[in-house]
Structure 1
Amino acid sequence: MLGGLLLVVAFGLRPRFARLSKVEERLPVLRRADAPRLFALLDEVAAGARTTGVRAVVIDADTNASVSVYGIRQHRVLHLGLGLWETLSPQERIALLGHEFGHYAHGDTRHSLIIGNAFRSLSTWRYALAHEPADSLMDHVVNLMTALPRLFVEGVVVLLDQLTLRGSQRAEYLADTTAARAAGTEAAAGLMDRLLVAEGVTGELRRESVAARTRIGGARREDPAEGLWERLAAHAASVPEHEYERLRQVAERRGHSVDSTHPPTHLRHRLLTGGEPCEALIVLDAARAAGVDAELAEARRVIAREVVRG
């Protein structure tokens, strides 16, 4: 019985590998044959970062972007949030891609095969040992029996978090330097400014969703998803320069949390602009940018419809 119990525990805590098939059920996923111009650009940026490209690109509405791996063979995948991508200039998009590929080039301890699975296993333990509302005597007994293991797991989580924290922050700074080399310092600093107003952009997406479902805002075209990304880009472009400066000053006065996995955006901006400026290694001209946009057109329509549906 004890051996069977241990086997069940081992099965529950086994290493889990992300599967792209689950993502494809709800989000557009592009592969090389679907978007050759986009993947050619990704390959070029990856080569500039001294790493290799990705096998797939997942498109969503987030005001963010990230890289990860999937499957036992750890294939690479880029998660591209249109909420951020659509607000960027062509050169700032190169900076964004350079930053993400910089994570592959410089490594990120928290997302490595061993440490990443360790965090996931500990999360499973935390869920299994979580304190439950005590509605009966048996609930009290179970909570009492799991108290020490729960404290032990929490302690290990905190320890592992602190041991990898500085590495995670360092990875962000190194990724920023890769972004500056790929797109130039000016574009990389511009990307930092866009990240400062990411919450406002997210709020604008929510407003568009609410307006589409409640018909707020007067007469509007029959399809509220039409022109969504253009309106979002116009909203981001309307933010004046002095607002960015105000946000940087507010962030500096507020201070930052030393246990955050990402350094404060204003410090990242200062590091980029305080050193020797870099010239762009890769320039995304208008014709090439238009070709990439054409390949993203269908995904843009799909995600726009999802946004307005809420």
Structure 2
Amino acid sequence: MCDWNVDPEPSKEKKGRLARARGNLARRHSERLLAELYAGGTLRARRDASAVLAFAVALVVHALTLAVTAGGIWFIVRGWGGWGMVPGALLLALGWSLRPRFRQLPKDTPVLRRAEAPELFALVDEVAGTRGVDTIVVNDWINAGVGSYGVRGRRLLVLGLPLWEILSPQQRIALLGHEMGHYVNGDTRHGLVVAAAYRSLITWHYYFEPGEHDPLDEAATLQLIVDLLYVVPRLLVLGVLTLLDRLSMRASQRAEYLADRVAAQAASTRAALEWMDRMLILDSAAVTLGREVNRTSLNRPRGKQQTDAWAKGLWERLAADLASVPEREHERLRRVGALRAHSVDSTHPPTHLRHACLQIGEATPPAVVIDDERDRRIAEELADARTKVALQILQDGY
């Protein structure tokens, strides 16, 4: 099939060196895993030697943070009341910025508990095959994700309404299946220890980043000297980040493929493939939301009642707009995605490879099906959140 003019406007997105390297590494590992599957290999979660080494490297990073903090305490105790308190305070501030952070629930977006949305939580449990999550956060993200929050590591599902609202019921099950799959697929990269080490290393990298040089500024020479002094530690941080990427990336790609398998088992292979196709038009969803924001600013509804009514209709207008995208455009986007190696982010396998992975072997029938009545009950549980998130988008912009 000829791809002439299928991508008339190549992507102009600029990525940093680290993101490009990570994306290339992710693509190589995902291609190798897919080749192994085509050759008759199996795909299963496991903790291999690379995962153990990644965990060990992460522990070394955390040990450095502890050493910095301990050094700050030592300087303050030994130099109490004198100049020794200055380096002590600096080291303590650095150690505080590098500390592992426990995620907290947001205060400016709807948070759902089991008592508030029993039908939605029951669906998540059914898809997960066990107790799914403790809390669901509903926001304006055109995506979804899982994680943990608090010291006890409670399970959290972040549900982006702009994505949820453009999916069919079975596609929503595929989305939930993929997210729940991350809890059982051995993804070292998203474990608490390794993820916290990544955050610490990225903070180090930020501190050692070279500053802007203005030739007319008298302090430019001093800034240049400081940047030169930072070259070696910056390279060391980049080296450790690259090492962690190489040790954990294969497990990360395998985890994404496994999560896709869970999506197909829950919703059916067909629904999972359709859900992936919807991920290719997320840019169109962002454009539609931006257009709705502009339209609201030009023709602002009067009064709370009209405003709420306009906000409630946002999701119907968004779903109708994206449903009008013809099949030929979906096919073009699939081909563009393959040419550009489109992926959700720099750590995910390219979407077309995920698509190919699901088509290996026999198609899977759905294990979970939503009927109209259950879909209506879930919509009722999300009604208040739908209005609040829509108002946030229309008032704050997108």
State the TM-score, normalizing by the size of structure 1.
Answer: 0.90
Counterpart-to-counterpart distance in 2, 1:242 and 1:248? 10
Superposed, 1:84-103 pairs within 5 Å as 84-103=163-182
Counterpart-to-counterpart distance in 2, 1:290 and 1:82? 16
Counterpart-to-counterpart distance in 1, 2:157 and 2:341? 31
Counterpart-to-counterpart distance in 2, 1:33 and 1:110? 32
1:131 is the counterpart of 2:210: yes
Give the alignment partner of residue 225 of structure 1, picking from 287, 298, 311: 311
- Report the CA distance shift for 1:179/1:11 in structure 2 as closer, same or farther (over 3 A): same
Give 1:15's aligned amino acid.
P
Counterpart-to-counterpart distance in 1, 2:290 and 2:180? 29
| Aligned-residue offset at 1:271 | 2.4
Give the alignment partner of residue 38 of structure 1, picking from 115, 120, 128: 120
Q: Aligned residue for 1:13?
A: 98
| Aligned-residue offset at 1:190 | 1.1
Counterpart-to-counterpart distance in 1, 2:340 and 2:387? 39
CA contact (8 A) 1:27 1:59 kept: yes
Give 2:296's aligned amino acid.
A
Give the alignment partner of residue 164 of structure 1, picking from 248, 264, 281: 248
Question: How many residue pairs align between the two structures?
Answer: 299
Give 1:243's aligned amino acid.
E
Q: Aligned residue for 1:70?
A: 149
Q: Aligned residue for 1:186?
A: 270
Counterpart-to-counterpart distance in 2, 1:53 and 1:230? 28
Counterpart-to-counterpart distance in 1, 2:166 and 2:186? 27
CA contact (8 A) 1:179 1:188 kept: yes
Q: Secondary structure at the match of 2:316?
A: helix
1:80 is the counterpart of 2:159: yes
Q: Aligned residue for 2:234?
A: 150
Give 2:273's aligned amino acid.
A
Give 2:198's aligned amino acid.
F
CA contact (8 A) 1:172 1:263 kept: yes
1:288 is the counterpart of 2:374: yes
Counterpart-to-counterpart distance in 2, 1:57 and 1:170? 26
Q: Aligned residue for 2:332?
A: 246
| Aligned-residue offset at 1:148 | 1.3
1:177-227 superposed Cα distances (whole Å, 9 cap, x missing partner): 1001001111111101111111111111111112111239xxxx9433230
Question: Structure 1 stretches of 5 or more lacking a match?
Answer: none
Counterpart-to-counterpart distance in 2, 1:28 and 1:194? 24
Give 1:41's aligned amino acid.
L
1:61-87 superposed Cα distances (whole Å, 9 cap, x missing partner): 122111011112111100001111001
| Aligned-residue offset at 1:250 | 2.1
Question: Structure 2 stretches of 5 or more lacking a match?
Answer: 1-70, 76-87
1:257-284 superposed Cα distances (whole Å, 9 cap, x missing partner): 8x93111222222322343111111111
Counterpart-to-counterpart distance in 2, 1:9 and 1:62? 32
- Look at both structures and tell me which one has the larger radius of gyration over its CA atoms: 2
Counterpart-to-counterpart distance in 1, 2:190 and 2:341? 27
CA contact (8 A) 2:174 2:275 kept: yes
Q: Secondary structure at the match of 2:359?
A: helix
Q: Aligned residue for 2:389?
A: 303
CA contact (8 A) 1:165 1:260 kept: no
Counterpart-to-counterpart distance in 2, 1:144 and 1:250? 42
1:109 is the counterpart of 2:205: no
Q: Aligned residue for 2:358?
A: 272
| Aligned-residue offset at 1:166 | 2.1
Counterpart-to-counterpart distance in 1, 2:262 and 2:238? 35
Counterpart-to-counterpart distance in 1, 2:340 and 2:228? 41
Give 1:237's aligned amino acid.
A
Q: Which moved more, 1:151-160 or 1:111-120?
A: 151-160
Give the alignment partner of residue 201 of structure 1, picking from 285, 288, 293: 285
Give 1:123's aligned amino acid.
I
Give 1:303's aligned amino acid.
V
- Report the CA distance shift for 1:139/1:211 in structure 2 as closer, same or farther (over 3 A): same
Q: Which moved more, 1:125-134 or 1:180-189?
A: 125-134
